[in-house]
Amino acid sequence: MKINNNKEIIISVLIMLTGVLGFFVYKNVSQNKELSQNIKLKEQAVISLEEKLTQTKIELASTTQKLSLVQEEKNILEKEVNDQATKVSDITSQIQNITGAIGTIDKLMKIDPELLKKYSKTFFLSENYFPTNLINIDNQYTLNPEKDLWIKKEIYENLKNLIDGARNSNLNIKVLSAFRSFETQTNLKSIYTVKYGTGANQFSADQGYSEHQLGTAVDFTTPELGEGLVNFENESIYQWLNENAYKYGFTLSYPEDNTYYKFEPWHWRFVGKKLAGKIHNENKNFQDLDQRELDGYLIYIFD
C-alpha cells in the first residue's frame, strides 16, 4: 500500500515536472519564434535600407551629373559674360579715345597754331596777323607806366606770377617791351637800320619774323638798367630767370651761341610750362628743336 502511494507521488512529480518542462519549452519556443520574427523584420528593414541607399546613390549620381552640367553651363555663361564685358570695355575705350580725340581737336581749334612756330628767319607772319585776346599789362609791372604794353590774355597770369616771384626774391623786374604789330616792327627795324646799318640784323628781326608779333614774348629789364639793357646777363635778375622762368612757362629765345640773333638775355617767350620745363631740364634751345616736336606741345601751352 505504501509502495503504491510512492508511485503515485513519483508519477505526480513527473507529471508536474513534465508540465513545467513543457511550459518552459513552450515559452522558449515562443520566444525563439518571436526572436526569429524580429530578426526577419530587421533583415527586411536592412534590405529596405540597402535598397533606399542604393536609390539614394543613384539619385546622388544623377544630381552630381546634373550639377556638373550646370557648372559647365555656368562656366560657358561666365565666359560669354566676360567676353561681352571685354567687348564693352573695348568699345568704351574706343569711345573714350574718340571723345578724347574730339576734345583734343576741339581744344587745338581754339589755340592759335602760330604760337609755337619758330619766327626767327624761319616762319613768316604777314601784316594781316594779329593775335586775339590782347590785354593791357598793369603799369605796376612795366618800366614806363605811361606806355601801354599788351600781351595775350591767356598768359597774363603767368607773367604776373613770374614778376611777383622775382619780387619775392627781392628782385625788381619790369616789362620793357611786349606785343609789337607788323607795322610797329617795320618802323622799329627801320630806326635800327638807320642807326646801326646792316648790323641791325644781328639783334632785330624783320617785320613778320618777330616773336613779339605773337603777343607771347616780352623783354625784361630793371629800373636801374632802364632801356639800355647793357650787361643784363650780369644782373641777378638774369640768373633768377634762368633758374625760374620755366616754372611760369617762359623760355629764353636767343641764348648764347644761337644761330639766329645775337645773345638777348632779356628776351623771353611764353611756350607753356610743359615745353619750357623740357627745354630747361634737358638744357635745350627752343630754336634748335624740330618744328614737329614743338607743335606737339601746342595742346599743352595754356595748361
If asked whether residues 79 and 148 sit together in one domain, one would say no
| In a shared domain, residues 17 and 76 | yes
275 phi/psi in degrees, rounded to 5: -70, -40
Q: Is the same domain home to 144 and 92?
A: no
pLDDT value at residue 301: 97
234-258 tens-digit pLDDT: 999 999 999 999 999 999 999 998 8
User: For position 74, what pLDDT does the model report?
Assistant: 84
224 among known catalytic residues = no
Q: Tell me the per-residue pLDDT of 5-59, one tens digit each, with 9 for 90 and over.
A: 677 777 777 777 776 666 666 666 667 677 778 778 877 877 888 888 888 888 8
AA letter at 198 = T
Same domain for 146 and 220, yes or no, is yes
The model's pLDDT over 89-105, given as tens digits with 9 standing for 90+, comes to 777 677 676 666 677 78
Question: Which pLDDT belongs to residue 67?
Answer: 83
Number of domains present in the structure of the chain: 2
Range(s) of the domain holding residue 145: 134-300
CATH number of the CATH domain containing 246: 3.30.1380.10
71 and 140 inside one domain: no
Residue positions counted in the chain:
303
d(CA 287, CA 263): 13
Query: Mean of the pLDDT values across residues 249-277?
Result: 92
Asked, for residue 250, whether it belongs to a domain, the answer is yes
Per-residue confidence (pLDDT) for residue 249, from 0 to 100: 98
- The per-residue DSSP string of the chain comes to -HHHHHHHHHHHHHHHHHHHHHHHHHHHHHHHHHHHHHHHHHHHHHHHHHHHHHHHHHHHHHHHHHHHHHHHHHHHHHHHHHHHHHHHHHHHHHHHHHHHHHHHHHHHHTS-TTTTS-TTTTS---TT---SSEEEPPGGGBS-TTS--EEEHHHHHHHHHHHHHHHHTT---EEEE----HHHHHHHHHHHHHHHGGGGGGT-PPTTS-GGGGT-EEEEE-TTTTTT-TTGGGSHHHHHHHHHGGGGTEEESS-TT-SSSS--TTEEEE--HHHHHHHHHTT--GGGS-HHHHHTTGGGTT-
- Specify whether 88 is located in the same domain as 170: no
| Residue 125 in domain | no
Task: List the catalytic residue out of 146, 264, 282, 293.
Answer: 264
pTM here?
A: 0.66
**Same domain membership, residue 244 and residue 170:** yes
In a domain, residue 70? The reply is yes
- Residue 264 scores a pLDDT above 70: yes
